[in-house]
Structure 1
Amino acid sequence: MEGGVEKPQYMFDRDVEWEALVSFATLPVGTARLGIVSGRRRMGKTYLLQALVERLGGFYFGASDATGGDSLMEFGAALAGYLGAEVPIRFDSWNHAVTYLFGLGAREQADRPRLIVLDEFPYLTRAVPELTSVLQREIDRYQNEPSGIRLLLCGSAMSVMGRLLAGNAPLRGRAQLEMVVRPFGYRDAAAFWDVAAEPALAAKLHAVVGGTPAYRGQFLAGDTPTSLAEFDPWLCRTVLSPVSSLFREARYLLAEEAEIRDTALYHSVLGAVARGSNTRGGIAGSIGRKAEDISHPLNVLEDCHLLMRDEDIFRAGKSVYRITEPLIAFYEAVMRPAWLLLERGQARRVWARSKERFAAQVAGPHFEVIAREFMIDDGIELLHPEAEFGTVGGGIVPDPANKTQIEIDVAVVQQGDGGHKRAVSLLGEAKWGVTMGSNHVDRLSRARDLLTRAGWDTSHCRLACFGGVGFSAALQRRADEESDVLLIGLDELYAQ
């Protein structure tokens, strides 16, 4: 509970988001306040905001993909219903509507907040480009005049929402809240799907549907795999079934982004990343384009939060791309290559032939991400007592003597400043489908030696094996004998 406003019992998690929204909406300051709420579709933003409006008695307007005139009539009707008017309120223009809206807060006591939510705001800005400038004018006006308005603008088009406060945008510098509603973390997702008791099932499920809350209830009506043995049949009757609402969801996620026009090109880029071509040059070569030709698609996918660029933690200026939405990664690696067969109802046949690809291209890379998330949370307790927590990521350690490179899946480093040397607190390797052995620790030890020679402080560096299957007896004995060797399995990753 925050500020006397209790979160609805039916709402799973979102405690941090709820408290922040309640704090913003009930702030007793007597001037207008602006908040921005964004996040990819299916994250439950509308669910969250409607619950907030219900609790506080505010005004909620969900825009539709309509013309400016139609949207204005819909807005007038919704506002009339909120105010208890018997007939719709008719506005001459959006300028008139916004002026009237802010006047509602001015006509009340300034210390009595009035919550206003404009959802699917990108629809409005597309139809009425000048709307943000009109809002800016009224917000600026009511910084000097009393107002109880607490305005929340919400939207799913991440590229559009990201520009509201950027550069020379009219609303830049005027927001007191900027919230991104993200997917559930892997542990919260396991609890949400009620599979936390089976970590292997939870990890596989998360590699397919991630932490998107709408997929369980809204899309699948609560149909969840009940055991690891049930995972394959569940996958075939849901995600891989042409009659399931999840079957085309990955395509819709891409098509719904306002900045994306040529979806074929964007799917090609995502497909290349899913297959392991994760550098700019590698992606370009994989799809038969020049590197400069894919700069725009890469930037748009990043703006849409569908692609992320991970900086190499050891080599400045080097980076790799990864898909942030698990369902899209699964679609590109497993579904798109066999789309015709899947449309003909051949889910079991396709899945039987795709399990190795799933392990290598989907579950394996996803397991590395889970391992990094673990280090950001509970993993900090596993570091040497004298080691400082720093940046978590991955990277490449060159091995010139052997003319090779050592890929580090999980690393915790401090870049150093002033008189402090760069330091490494942890080097880790994550393996999803193989039993890990002493050879994996040997590689990490070799990388640690190379970093020491390169000037890094490795005096408190521990070596971690993240195993999705388990560890050999020899590796377990080694971990018992050497305090700097850590073995972290699924049980540890999912322990609450």
Structure 2
Amino acid sequence: MDKPAEMFDRDFEWSELTRFSRYSGPEATLGVVSGRRRQGKTFLLDAATRASGGFMFTATETTEADALRQFGAALADHCGEPAPFRFAHWDEAITRLLRIATDGPVVAVIDEFPFLAKASPALPSIIQRGLDPAARRDNTPVRLLLCGSALSFMGRLLSGNAPLRGRAGLELVVPTLDYRLAGQFWDIADPCTAALTHAVVGGTPAYRREFTQGDTPADRDDFDDWIVRAVLNPGRPLFREARYLLAEEPELHDTALYHSVLAAIASGNASRGGIADYLGRKSTDLAHPLHVLEDVGLIRHEADAFRRNRSAYRIAEPLLTFYHAVMRPNWGDLERPGRAAAVWSRAQATFRSKVLGPHFKTLCREWARWHASPGTHGGHPARVAAGTVSDPAAKTGHEVDVAVFGRDDSADGPEHEVLLAIGEAKWNDTMGIGHLRRLEHIRGLLATRTGAPGREPRLMCFSGAGFTDELRRIAERDRGVQLVDMHRLYHGH
């Protein structure tokens, strides 16, 4: 199948769909496609269906009887029948679906599958029985794809003792675009403007096409105007999107509680204890909401780079961070047309400290893990994290924004982690010799605790504003000092 020219990236996803669709076996096969909303799953599957002449049914949130009626009408139309199929139950419907590939493999997609399973909990078991080649010898080579955005449900579909466990020949997760791809997708050439935009809308494709209709910041000078006209404008879809993200997740029943947890994290409370203090609750009361938010892909739980018994919660969707830091506290004003510019002017400091600064550090960690060459770190990165290094003499702790770990395959024993580099990230500061000296001090504190004998971790400075001439001269002489500016972050290794 030829990938549609209008499809941006998704080369890996398209190749896997092609492989699954072209499988030449005579039996019916199953694939599962999942991912957060607005990532283009339906667009991807619709393109695959059209390219192969297959069948696609998009479920709605309705009753079992109504869903069967809709499915029967859609399947009859695909088969060229003059009247809709009238199925009494899903067993009949799945049996008929698995017989449509009379002339070779045919793709059949059921989109929004969680809606059907909610109304008909036995449906996964019915599909499992329908796929059994011993029981259903009259099946044809249908390539059945189940798709959904409810990550917790889709994750359970093939796990543990689930009926479809071990039945799938494809398990595809469609991710958000990483920050470099997002910059290309938004057609933003300037790295600083691309990073600013990503800090607000992340890498969700729909936010450019459907939600802003191609309205992108022309350059850094246009960014503030773009925020006012496209994000803080009550007449634009992005304005309420953060609220809808939670409302659309079936696992999130008490949305007020989950919004409060996200607000606590967006305010800089990364630990469970800090979140509990912010909400005025006991730490043990938050185990469930934190687990659910992580399960649906809205937050990440990251271990400290140097102290495994400590961890931090971070919001995975930039738009949610922006909403809770900037929009939610000013919601009353923002709902009144014409107030957005004044609100945005007042929120500049909050945006820089609560949104942009933490987001820039995240981009730097992503660069160190996925885009930097092994020569940059002096080894292949296996893990990149943030962490805190204690300083007993000063009775304080030092934050490390980027800690890069690799694997050391020593001859004396099994492989173990070795610290390759530590780094500091500053969005709005011109970094100089003082920042380097701080990293040298932290490296000294770590010297007796980690690293390989005879090898010092490299020092990395990430800056959105650039570096002093003195620091540049040091980096030119010493490969152990690496400077990463915005151009290198977006285009270099």
User: Normalization by structure 1: what TM-score?
Assistant: 0.95
Match of 1:256 among 248, 256, 259: 248
User: Which AA in structure 1 matches 2:35?
Assistant: G
- Greater CA deviation, 363-372 or 264-273? 363-372
1:311 shift after superposition = 1.3
Instruction: Provide the rounded CA distance (Å) in 2 between the counterparts of 1:211 and 1:326.
Output: 9
Equivalent in the alignment of 1:354: 347
1:295 shift after superposition = 0.8
- Greater CA deviation, 454-463 or 237-246? 454-463
Instruction: Provide the rounded CA distance (Å) in 2 between the counterparts of 1:422 and 1:93.
Output: 55
Q: In the comparison of the two structures, how many residue pairs are matched?
A: 486
Equivalent in the alignment of 1:372: 365
Q: Which runs of structure 2 are paired with 1:117-136 in the superposition (5 Å)?
A: 117-136=109-128
1:415 shift after superposition = 6.0
Equivalent in the alignment of 1:192: 185
- Tell me, yes or no, if structure 1 residue 448 matches structure 2 residue 443: yes
1:158 shift after superposition = 1.2
- Tell me, yes or no, if structure 1 residue 182 matches structure 2 residue 175: yes
Instruction: Provide the rounded CA distance (Å) in 2 between the counterparts of 1:143 and 1:378.
Output: 49
What's the secondary structure of 1:219's corresponding residue?
coil
Query: Could you report, residue by residue, the CA deviation over 1:35-57 in whole angstroms, capped at 9, with x for unpaired residues?
Result: 11111111000000000000001
Equivalent in the alignment of 2:423: 428
1:384 shift after superposition = 4.8
Equivalent in the alignment of 1:438: 433
- Tell me, yes or no, if structure 1 residue 24 matches structure 2 residue 17: no
Q: Is the 8 A contact 1:383 1:426 kept in 2?
A: no
Q: List gaps (5 residues or longer) in structure 2.
A: none
Residues 1:50 and 1:321: Cα distance change in structure 2 (over 3 Å): same
User: Which AA in structure 2 matches 1:466?
Assistant: F
1:421 shift after superposition = 5.3
Query: Could you report, residue by residue, the CA deviation over 1:387-412 in whole angstroms, capped at 9, with x for unpaired residues?
Result: 34321222122222221112111121
- Tell me, yes or no, if structure 1 residue 12 matches structure 2 residue 8: yes
1:144 shift after superposition = 8.0
Q: Which runs of structure 2 are paired with 1:45-444 in the superposition (5 Å)?
A: 45-105=41-101, 108=102, 112-141=104-133, 145=137, 147-195=140-188, 197-345=189-337, 346-385=339-378, 387-414=379-406, 418-420=413-415, 422-444=417-439
Q: Is the 8 A contact 2:419 2:450 kept in 1?
A: no
| Structure 1 vs Structure 2 CA RMSD | 1.7
User: Which AA in structure 2 matches 1:328?
Assistant: L
Query: Could you report, residue by residue, the CA deviation over 1:50-82 in whole angstroms, capped at 9, with x for unpaired residues?
Result: 000000011100001111111100000000111
User: Normalization by structure 2: what TM-score?
Assistant: 0.95
1:269 shift after superposition = 0.3
Residues 1:60 and 1:398: Cα distance change in structure 2 (over 3 Å): same
1:23 shift after superposition = 0.6
What's the secondary structure of 2:197's corresponding residue?
helix
What's the secondary structure of 1:433's corresponding residue?
coil
- Greater CA deviation, 171-180 or 80-89? 171-180
1:378 shift after superposition = 2.7
What's the secondary structure of 1:434's corresponding residue?
coil
Equivalent in the alignment of 2:459: 463
Instruction: Provide the rounded CA distance (Å) in 2 between the counterparts of 1:140 and 1:299.
Output: 35
Q: List gaps (5 residues or longer) in structure 1.
A: none
Q: Is the 8 A contact 1:32 1:142 kept in 2?
A: no
Q: Is the 8 A contact 2:35 2:151 kept in 1?
A: yes
Instruction: Provide the rounded CA distance (Å) in 2 between the counterparts of 1:311 and 1:462.
Output: 22
1:303 shift after superposition = 0.9
Instruction: Provide the rounded CA distance (Å) in 1 between the counterparts of 2:155 and 2:46.
Output: 22
Q: Is the 8 A contact 2:21 2:105 kept in 1?
A: yes
1:29 shift after superposition = 2.0
1:152 shift after superposition = 0.6
1:150 shift after superposition = 1.1
Instruction: Provide the rounded CA distance (Å) in 2 between the counterparts of 1:280 and 1:451.
Output: 26
Residues 1:268 and 1:352: Cα distance change in structure 2 (over 3 Å): same
Query: Could you report, residue by residue, the CA deviation over 1:100-121 in whole angstroms, capped at 9, with x for unpaired residues?
Result: 212334xx36xx2121100000
Residues 1:420 and 1:35: Cα distance change in structure 2 (over 3 Å): closer
What's the secondary structure of 2:293's corresponding residue?
helix
Instruction: Provide the rounded CA distance (Å) in 2 between the counterparts of 1:81 and 1:355.
Output: 55
User: Which AA in structure 2 matches 1:389?
Assistant: P
Q: Is the 8 A contact 2:73 2:84 kept in 1?
A: yes
What's the secondary structure of 1:435's corresponding residue?
coil
Instruction: Provide the rounded CA distance (Å) in 1 between the counterparts of 2:6 and 2:13.
Output: 15
Residues 1:174 and 1:420: Cα distance change in structure 2 (over 3 Å): closer
- Greater CA deviation, 89-98 or 393-402? 393-402
Instruction: Provide the rounded CA distance (Å) in 1 between the counterparts of 2:193 and 2:77.
Output: 47
Instruction: Provide the rounded CA distance (Å) in 2 between the counterparts of 1:267 and 1:142.
Output: 49
Q: Is the 8 A contact 1:384 1:460 kept in 2?
A: no
Residues 1:213 and 1:401: Cα distance change in structure 2 (over 3 Å): same
Residues 1:388 and 1:189: Cα distance change in structure 2 (over 3 Å): closer
Instruction: Provide the rounded CA distance (Å) in 1 between the counterparts of 2:437 and 2:287.
Output: 38
Residues 1:300 and 1:87: Cα distance change in structure 2 (over 3 Å): same
1:420 shift after superposition = 4.9
